[in-house]
Structure 1
Amino acid sequence: MTDNGEAAEAGAGAGAAVRPRRADARRNQEALLDAAAAVFVASGVEAPVRDIAAEAGVGTGTIYRHFPTRADLIIAVYRHQVEACAEAGPALLAAGGSPHAALGQWIDLFVDFLVTKHGLAAALRSDQAGFETLHTYFLDRLVPVCSRLLDAAVASGEIRSDLTALELMHGVGNLCIGADSDPRYDARRLVEVLVAGLLRQPR
């Protein structure tokens, strides 16, 4: 029989063992979602699960264990990308480059995200309420980040001040529509033109 001190020490040790395992599981799942996002961006949300498994360096069974259906995986990637975009905005501004350059880099990440988002509607065809909930989450998380980037670029005198974050995000989104169905259409080039067009012209 152990005394209370020994029991407490054993309990603390067990807790310490559980926490690293949970952290490892979280990192592994994030790595899997990063791999799935990369494959979705390159090949669309209907890409074979084996391609995602190969990118992640795991077996297909691991993916199905975490995400039993394709819709589950797409939704998880969607949320993962939203959070990555949300966290990237402040980090890009803090990196020390020009705010306009930070905005351009963030828009690049946003375009990658939109590729996945355009596949979400089909995945949730039978769950309109779920889609609307995710869309609200997307706006709540990303519009303030885009606003902060725009405000910084306006304050630096680099860009015009008559565009809102929601307008810019809608514009980028509209340019990306159809990019996955026409290989001749280069949405990124047009998005670059849009971002470059924000710059103030010398008088």
Structure 2
Amino acid sequence: MKHLYLIIIILSLIFITGCKEPTNEEIFYEVQKTYNVLETYSCTATVKIKGEDIRIYKAKHKFKRPNKYVIEIIEPEESKGHITICNGKQVWFYHPKIEKSILIRDLKASPKENMFIGYFLKNLFTNEYISLESEKIGDSEYLIITTEMPGNSKYGKFEKLWVNKKNFNPFKLVILNENKEITTEVIYTDYKSNIKLPDKVFNIESY
């Protein structure tokens, strides 16, 4: 009988341990493993920029590791069709309404890059400052990853990414100033990872 009680206790402990919710650190480790093999992705990004006034626009994002991307504005109507392409060496801007384009040959960091998950991850994996939190939004649980941004801009000091704890898909990214006030908020939808994105997608001459 004593052996039976002992077996029941051991099985109960195994069951309790097996049902234990993973910690934020354990989830973060799995997120790292998932994003370490992330080569490409596409999504729709709804961006809210706060300044003297609030600007909101919606765009399609395409990204290829390490630094190629396409941004195509789909809202508002007056900016629809505006395209930004970075091929890793140059950035090209095109506005169909005025039929003008600009090519920047000397590639430097752009504020638009900070809205891409790929750039957040690049910064995250080379940064010593990382903070982890949890938040429930609707029926979903999210891991919030906070890190410092490179450079000394007072408008972009910290960056936070909300990642779904179940599928590790990104949900939201915010940029905060030195006073930890939100200056930019990005909501991601229609996220698809490791899709086929040949280099011609980022070929400036093809547009």
Fold shared by both chains (TM-score > 0.5): no
Hey, which of these two has a bigger chunk of helix by percent? Answer: 1
Hey, which of these two has a bigger chunk of strand by percent? Answer: 2
TM range (shorter): under 0.3
TM-score (norm 1): 0.24
